[in-house]
A and B are shown apart, each in its own frame.
Chain A
Amino acid sequence: MEKQPREQAVTEPADSGAGGEEGGSPQVAGARTARPEDRLTLLLRLRAQTKQQLLEYKSVVDANEEKTPEQIMQDKQIEAKIEDLENEIEDVKIAFEIKKLALDRMQLSTALKKNLEKINPKTSVLMDNMKHVLKLNKLIMKSQQESWDLEEKLLDVRKKRLQLKQASEGKLLEIQTEKNKQKDDLASMENSDKIKTIQQNLQMEIQITTVIQHVFQNLILGSKANWAEDSAFKETVLQLEKNLTMM
Chain B
Amino acid sequence: MSVLRPLDKQPGLNTATILLVGTEDALLQQLADSMLKEDCASELKVHLARSLPLPSNVNRPRIDLIVFVVNLHSKYSLRNVEESLHHVDATFFLGKVGFLITGAGREGHCSIHWNTVVRLARTYRSPLLFCDLEVEGFRATVAQRLVRMLQICAGHVPGVSALNLLSLLRSSENPALEDV
Contact = CB atoms under 8 A, between A and B. Distances in A.
A5 B12 contact: no
A10 B45 contact: yes
Interface string B152-178: 001111110110000100010000110
A226 interface: no
Contacts of B44: 11-12, 14
B54 A53 contact: no
A11 B60 CA distance: 12
Q: Is the interface of A mostly helix, strand, loop or mixed?
A: helix
Given A45-B14, A89-B167, A93-B171, A10 B155 contact: no
B50 A5 contact: yes
B13 A46 contact: yes
A8 B48 contact: yes
A86 B14 contact: no
Interface in A54-80: 55-57, 59-60
Interface stretch (B32-40, B100-108, B110-118, B126-134): B32-40
Contacts, number: 100
B161 A45 contact: no
A13 B54 CA distance: 24
A5 B51 contact: yes
A6 B50 contact: yes
B45 A15 contact: no
B47 A52 contact: no
B58 interface: yes
B154 to A, nearest CB: 8
B134 to A, nearest CB: 20
Given A52-B155, A52-B156, A56-B161, A15 B52 contact: no
Contacts of A14: 39-44
A51 B41 CA distance: 17
A204 B8 CA distance: 122
A5 B54 contact: yes
Interface residues of A, number: 35
A86 B91 contact: no
A11 B51 contact: no
B61 to A, nearest CB: 9
A49 B55 contact: no
Given A7-B58, A10-B48, A14-B40, A28 B155 contact: no
Given A31-B14, A53-B155, A86-B177, A13 B43 contact: yes
Contact of B11 (A8, A53, A82, A89): A53
Contact of B55 (A5, A11, A48, A93): A5
B140 interface: no
A7 B177 CA distance: 36
A28 B47 contact: no
B53 A45 contact: no
A55 B156 CA distance: 12
Given A5-B54, A28-B15, A45-B41, A90 B176 contact: yes
B85 interface: no
Nearest to B19: A7
Nearest to B53: A5
B158 A15 contact: no
A60 B155 CA distance: 13
A57 B36 contact: no
B164 to A, nearest CB: 10
13 contacts: A5-B53, A6-B50, A10-B46, A10-B48, A28-B13, A28-B14, A42-B14, A45-B156, A46-B14, A52-B156, A55-B161, A57-B7, A89-B167
Interface of B: 7, 11-15, 32-33, 36, 39-55, 58, 60, 91, 154-159, 161-162, 167, 171, 176-177
Interface of A: 3, 5-17, 28, 31, 42, 45-46, 48-49, 51-53, 55-57, 59-60, 82-83, 86, 89-90, 93
